[in-house]
Structure 1
Amino acid sequence: MLSIDGFEWDKHKAEINERKHGINFNEAVSVFYDDDALLIPDPDHSFLEERFYC
């Protein structure tokens, strides 16, 4: 089972994403803690850290 330690975000980018997508950062992050969520590795977006689609 995958363990998530936390999330980092840029405040300005979070504000832009909320206006663009209509969902705030805390709501978006909540899907990663859903027991029924399917987490898929996203190696194309970072070579320095693990990233996932949910």
Structure 2
Amino acid sequence: MMIVKDWCSYCGCCAGVCVRNCIEVKETALVFDENCNNCGFCVDACPLAALEMEE
């Protein structure tokens, strides 16, 4: 997962849709844990398009 930090408002929409609870929203950071399977739900949920899938 790649975060475009200039676009991210840390709103938590991505964490809210994560079925594995892999995303922790901090004041100025998103933390993805090792259980992330790159399903892409968080990318689709981001209203600011601040998340992108890495190849």
TM-score range, shorter chain: under 0.3
Larger strand percent: 2
Higher helix share: 1
User: Which of the two has higher C-alpha Rg?
Assistant: 1
**Which structure is richer in relative contact order (CA contacts within 8 A, separation 6 or more)?**
2
Q: TM-score when scaled to structure 2?
A: 0.26
